[in-house]
Structure 1
Amino acid sequence: MNFIALDFETATHERHSACELGICVVENSEIVETKSWLIKPPSYPYFNPHNINVHGIYPEDVKNAPTFDEIWSEVEETLYGNLMIAHNASFDASVLRGCLDYYGIFKPKTQYLCSIQLAKKSWKNLESYGLKNLANHHQIKFNHHRADADAEVCAKLSLLAFERLFITEDEEVKTIFSKNLKTL
C-alpha cells in the first residue's frame, strides 16, 4: 500500500485559510515520513477564536511562516501520483482546493478517499467514527488537532482498516472503493 494521509488546520471558516498542513507518507504499508508546515494564511493576523480553541495555533505562531504558495512545490512533490487519504476528506480536499484557487495554482488530478468511509467499512457499529474515538478504540495516543499528528493517526487507522479488509495492493483500493474515490 502506498498513499499519503493529509490534514489541514485553518485560521478561519474560509477554505483558503490553512494555517497548518500535515502529511504522512506511507510506502509499502509502512509509515516512512511525517511532516508538517505552519502556514501564514491570507487572513493573517486575524484568526477566529473558535479555530484557535480547536487547534491551539495563534497568529504569532505563523508570523514568520511561509504562505501556502511558498510550500506548494514541496507538497505537490509528495502528493504526486499518490492516493490521498484524509479523515473527513471533504473538508481537507476543500481546503486544498481553496488554497490552490486563492493562489491561482493548477489543481493536480489527485484522487482521495475519506478514512471515515474506510473505518465504517472496517469496524461496524462504533458509536463514533471521529478521529479521536477511532484512535482511542485502537489505543493510539496522539496530539489531536495538530496536523502532523492527525495525518499520522489517519495513516495508522487506514493501514489497520486495509489489513482488516485484506486489502494489500493499491489497485484493490481503486476497485473496492471506486464509488468513494473522488478527484481533487
Structure 2
Amino acid sequence: MDFCALDFETATHEKNSACELGICIVQNSKIVETKTWLIKPPSYPYFHPRNIDVHGIYPEDVKDAPTFEDIWYEVEEMMYGTLMIAHNASFDAGVLRGCFNHYGIFAPTMHYLCSIQLAKKSWDYLPRYGLKHLAEYHNIEFKHHRAGDDAEACAKISLLAFEKLLLTTNEEISDYMKTKIKCL
C-alpha cells in the first residue's frame, strides 16, 4: 500500500495562503519519509492573528522561505502517482487548488481521501474524529497544527484504519472507499 499524507497550515483565510506544508510518504505500508517546508505566502508579511494562534508560525519565520511555486516540483515528485490522504481533506485540497490557481500551475490529476471518513468507517463508536482526538485514542504523540507532524499523525491513523478494515492494497482501498475518494 502506497500513499502520501499531506497537511497545510495557512497564514490567512485565503486558500492560496499556505505558510507550511508537510508530506509523509508511505510505501509498502511503512512510513519512509516526512518532509516539511515553511512557505512564504502571497499575503506576506500579513498573517491573520487567529491563524498564528492556531499554528504558531509568524511572518518572520517565513521571511526567507520559498514560495509554493518554488517548492512545487519537489513536492510533486514526492507525491507523484500516489493517493493523497489528509485529515479534513477538503481543506487541504482547497489550499492545494488555491496555490495552483494563484501561481498558474497546471493541476495534475490527483485522487484524495479524507482520513476523517476513513476513521468513521474504522471506529464508528468514537465521539470525535479530530486529528488530536484520534491521535490520543491511538497513543500517537505529535505537535498539533505543525504540518509535518500532522501529516505523519494522519499517515499513522490511516495505516491503523486500513489494518482494522483489513485493507492491504491500494486497489482494495479504492474499492472499499470508492464513494469517498475525490479527484482534485
2:58 maps to 58
Runs of 4 or more off by more than 3 Å in structure 1? none
Residues of 1 paired with 2:89 and 2:153: CA distance? 14
Residues of 2 paired with 1:53 and 1:95: CA distance? 19
1:147 maps to 147
The percentage of aligned residue pairs carrying the same residue is: 70
Residues of 2 paired with 1:108 and 1:9: CA distance? 21
1:79 to partner: Cα distance: 1.3
1:166 maps to 166
Matched, 1:16 2:29: no
Residues of 2 paired with 1:2 and 1:79: CA distance? 10
Letter of the aligned partner of 2:157 in structure 1? L
Residues of 2 paired with 1:141 and 1:161: CA distance? 17
Structure 1 unmatched runs, 5+: none
2:183 maps to 183
Structure 2 unmatched runs, 5+: none
Q: Secondary structure at the match of 1:12?
A: coil
Residues of 2 paired with 1:77 and 1:140: CA distance? 28
Residues of 2 paired with 1:126 and 1:119: CA distance? 9
1:124 to partner: Cα distance: 1.3
1:81 maps to 81
Q: Secondary structure at the match of 1:99?
A: helix
1:95 maps to 95
In the superposition, the TM-score normalised over structure 1's length comes to: 0.99
Letter of the aligned partner of 1:68 in structure 2? F
Letter of the aligned partner of 1:169 in structure 2? T
1:125 to partner: Cα distance: 1.8
Residues of 1 paired with 2:160 and 2:57: CA distance? 30
Residues of 2 paired with 1:107 and 1:75: CA distance? 13
Query: Does structure 2 conserve the Cα–Cα contact (< 8 Å) formed by 1:79 and 1:110?
Result: no
In the superposition, the TM-score normalised over structure 2's length comes to: 0.99
The alignment covers a number of residue pairs equal to 184
